[in-house]
Amino acid sequence: MSTLKNHYRGKKVLLTGHTGFKGSWMAEWLLGLGADVVGIALEPTEQPALFDQLRLKDRLEHHIQDIRDAEKVSAIITNAQPDIVFHLAAQPLVRYSYDHPIETFDTNVMGTVHVLDALRKLGKPCEAVMVTTDKCYENKEVDRPYREDDPMGGHDPYSASKGACELVVSSYRRSFFNPATYGQSHQIALASARAGNVIGGGDWALDRIVPDCMRTLAEERPVPVRNPHATRPWQHVLEPLGGYMVLAMHLADRSSADEFKSRCSGFNFGPDPESNRSVRELVEEVLACWPGAWEDQSNPDAVHEAGLLNLSIDKAEKLLGWMPVWNFETAIRETVRWYRGVLKQDMDALEITRNQIADYSERFGQ
């Protein structure tokens, strides 16, 4: 198996959601590997936006396009003729989904359908990774990690939309992109990727605990904590992104029919079990790196959000050789270092981002 740099150098990679937090990190990493990146996304909604801070607009093929428009999405993908597709574009917020359920389902479910249907018309080999979330599982808040064969579900509109995305991906794989008929009726290798709560520099979204921490600490105010006892599988944003890229690389290896079929499936990319920590523990670790205070703003009448959610990553380790690199403390330290450098020390976001990608890649071993 080749390294990421050898595999992605010169490849045409189509990335949806490239103006978002995860998409911007992924675009920068792919460009650093020598890939030719084509992006489809809406304009960044936050100000500042990591996409602008990394000055990505002039370094890739940049399409501002709503993925709910099937015809235009298909035209961009057909024109790009990508070797690899990463579908990250989504409405990503749980609480927002309660206020905007139609937009959430339309973007997350039908947007995924539009990307997949465009791939039916591609007519060339392409590895496609459709990114959903750990919240796609029917979460019974049991004390065991969810495995890839657990049932899909979702209490809130966001989680349900992502569970539905996984069903859509499974349907397209079985109906149109069956790995058993690869090279006969199609040339698409299709997998899905499920990651947990990612953190890292440049996430400026409202209503997320880490950006909320950074904004209030920079203003020397106490951090408001909404769900201090909720547990999440925290991981640095580079962890799942590396997993997505390794998965796509393995999808290109069709030397074994059985192994290829196993890879054309869903994969969890989560942290080590020790990184499943409460929101309170997360905030206290942040404050160990950037001194300040926090205050409990729990609201018993707030809309439902999961209290316990863990992922099993055994499948990714066994089939892809993927393992998380940074532990909980390192992920927090590097995240705080990014924000504090940019917000308080006027450091260049692009330089810090590139340095962290380089540091992570060295340990990642790919």
Between the CA of residue 232 and those of 180, 185, 198, 307, 322, what are the distances in Å? 37, 41, 10, 8, 20
Place of tokens 């609480």: 95
- 84 closest CA partner among 240, 2, 190, 183: 190
Strand-strand pairing, 36-41 and 61-64: parallel
Question: pLDDT digit of tens for each residue in the chain (366 aa)?
Answer: 468 989 999 999 999 999 999 999 999 999 999 999 999 999 998 889 999 999 999 999 999 999 999 999 999 999 999 999 999 999 988 888 999 999 999 999 999 999 999 999 999 999 999 999 888 888 877 778 889 898 888 889 999 999 999 999 999 999 999 999 999 999 999 999 999 789 999 999 887 899 999 999 999 999 999 888 888 889 999 999 999 999 999 999 999 999 999 999 999 999 888 888 899 999 999 999 999 999 988 766 555 455 567 889 999 999 999 999 999 999 999 999 999 999 988 899 999 999 999 999 998 866
CB 305 within 8 A of CB 156: yes
Secondary structure of residue 186 in the 3-state scheme: strand
CATH assignment at residue 233: 3.40.50.720
How many structural domains comprise the chain?
A: 1
Q: Please state the pTM of the whole predicted model.
A: 0.94
Secondary structure of residue 166 in the 3-state scheme: helix
Structural domain for 120, as ranges: 4-364
